[in-house]
Structures are given as structure tokens and as C-alpha cells.
């Protein structure tokens, strides 16, 4: 924690906040994309995308889950998605799953999460659409297959939001599915044929 505190305390000395770039940020934000990914500490959106301050709007939670539109109760995820679309007018939304994902691993293994009732309830949002694949074979799919299917499912959940659906119909919004390998740094992109592939830079 000391290193984190020291870094935060020295930020003003390390970064030129008097520059025009940072003064412009104080006037408002206009990020290019909403980046939805896991809250896993190894997944850092700015590291993956190379984005600087103000370039991406971020939403991170366990398992990069998008609650279906109209889910009862307040939702930070729904609020963030609505704000990104209706106020910031982002043109792209990326849902990025990752290797070694604890949330998807727990679903795949059928772990007993009774000691983590909040986690268990949260993962219930993802379980139903993963169940058919998990039950398809005796050994079940690989973790990467589960993570990638979850990305596809969350993109479908995004389409349930009226503001997203309208923007998609009008051609003003693009959805992207990514799978990030923590140990290699490779990013697999969801292609139109439903497969995740690594594309050359």
C-alpha cells in the first residue's frame, strides 16, 4: 500500500497538469468507447488499449456482466451504460473477457459460493445462458470457451437496452467482443462468424 500511496502523492509532480491537455479534460469528457471488462486486478483497460485520460469510459465488475435491461433495483452497470450512450454518445462498446477469470471459473466448476452470497447472486445473471454449454459434455468446455461465450452473451444483453438497440439500428453504435490473455497479452477479437481470432496489428 505504501508504494501506491507514494505514487498517488507524487502524481502532481510527475504529470504536467498545467498542460492544455489536462485543462481541456476539466471542461468535460468525450470518450471514444465504453470498455466493459472484469474487475480482476490483472485486467487494465488503459494498458490493453493504450488509452490516455478521457479516451475510454470504463465499467468493471466480476465477470464483465451486463445486467439485462429492466432488471429490478438500482444498477451501477445500467446507469453507466445509459450515461455512456445517452450523455457521452459513445460510438463503440467493447465487452472484454479474459483468461484465468475467477468468476467464470467458479461458474464452470459449479463452486459452492454460499460464503459469498453477493458474488453468487451476481453470477446468477450469467449462469442461465452458460448452462447449456456447461452441460453439453461430461468434461464441459474449457475455461476460455466459457469466458468467450460469456462475452457473446453480454453483447446480447447490451442489445436489450433500448438506447443501444436504437443506436445499432441507426448505424451509430458498434459492439465488439474481446478475449484478453493475461499471460501473453494477446487480444482475440470476435469476428462476424462468431469465432474469436487474433488479428495482426
Q: Which residues are annotated as a binding site?
A: 38, 40, 98, 101
Separation CA 172–CA 174 (nearest Å): 7
- Do residues 119 and 59 lie in contact, with contact meaning Cβ atoms separated by under 8 Å? no
Largest CA-CA distance found in the chain, in angstroms, rounded: 60
Residue ranges for the known binding site for Zn(2+) are: 38, 40, 98, 101
Separation CA 150–CA 62 (nearest Å): 12
Amino acid at each position: 500500500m505504501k508504494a501506491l500511496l507514494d505514487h498517488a502523492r507524487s502524481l502532481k509532480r510527475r504529470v504536467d497538469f498545467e498542460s492544455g491537455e489536462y485543462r481541456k479534460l476539466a471542461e468535460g469528457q468525450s470518450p471514444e468507447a465504453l470498455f466493459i471488462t472484469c474487475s480482476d486486478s490483472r485486467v487494465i483497460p488503459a494498458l490493453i488499449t493504450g488509452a490516455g485520460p478521457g479516451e475510454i469510459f470504463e465499467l468493471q465488475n466480476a465477470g464483465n456482466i451486463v445486467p439485462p435491461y429492466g432488471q429490478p433495483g438500482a444498477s451501477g452497470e445500467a446507469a453507466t451504460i445509459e450515461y455512456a450512450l445517452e450523455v457521452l454518445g459513445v460510438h463503440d462498446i467493447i465487452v472484454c473477457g479474459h483468461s484465468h477469470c475467477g468468476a467464470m471459473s467458479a461458474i464452470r466448476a459449479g463452486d459452492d459460493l454460499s460464503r459469498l452470497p453477493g458474488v453468487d447472486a451476481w453470477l446468477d445473471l450469467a449462469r442461465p445462458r452458460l448452462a447449456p454449454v456447461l452441460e453439453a459434455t461430461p468434461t464441459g468446455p474449457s475455461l476460455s470457451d466459457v469466458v468467450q461465450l460469456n462475452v457473446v452473451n453480454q453483447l446480447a444483453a447490451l442489445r436489450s437496452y433500448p438506447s443501444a438497440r436504437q443506436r445499432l439500428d441507426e448505424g451509430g453504435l458498434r459492439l465488439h467482443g474481446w478475449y484478453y490473455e493475461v499471460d501473453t497479452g494477446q487480444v482475440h477479437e470476435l469476428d462476424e462468424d462468431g469465432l474469436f481470432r487474433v488479428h495482426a496489428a
